[in-house]
Structure 1
Amino acid sequence: MPGLLRGVARTAVVSGTATAVSNRVSRRQQGRWAAQQGYEAPAPQSAYQAEPPAAATAPDMSSKIEELKQLGELKNQGVLTEAEFEDQKRRILET
């Protein structure tokens, strides 16, 4: 059972990362196509903003804290290895 849980957790992490990367690539490609067509594409509403509004900072930080807590619980349960834990922690803190 722990092996199954570890596999499910790893799949969820990989899937989430793949989705984020895919969305970022799609937005970048859309911008390139728009530039080739000669018109300006709408600015993406993602992490590309220079400075987020002050009101959005608190919820963003609390969501990161929640993600880190869940990640820690998975590590404590043995679902994630130390290397997987460190990799995902770095990913959460960089976004």
Structure 2
Amino acid sequence: MRFARGRGRRGPGLLGTVARTAVVAGTASAVSGRVAEAQHDRRVAQQEATTQAVQQAALQQAAVQQAAAQQAAVQQAAPPQAAVRQQAPPAPVTAAAPSVDELHAQLLKLGELRTAGLLTDEEFTAQKSRLLGG
């Protein structure tokens, strides 16, 4: 049996189906390639961002370590305030040694204060040894 044109077969022929399949496959392949390329670009950008973040963190850590080293060097070079306070105070500037007459007058005054009861024997002895330099 022969089919009359337009009545028997419905839809495209073999050639049309092959062409349509080729178009769909080509489009799918192109879209897939673009998606893969976009995903690759995103991965590369993320890796670069991560690398930059790691580098910045390393630089910050190095800066902190350098600052700590400098601070330690400064602390070693200059003693802390507590150590400065614990050091003996500078010796007082002594005036010229008093003359014999001044020394005699001061000793007489101390004796009078002791006799008057204003100084104890221990205070008198301490002041006398201070005046005599011993």
TM > 0.5 between the two? no
* Structure 2 length-normalised TM: 0.29
* Structure 1 length-normalised TM: 0.40
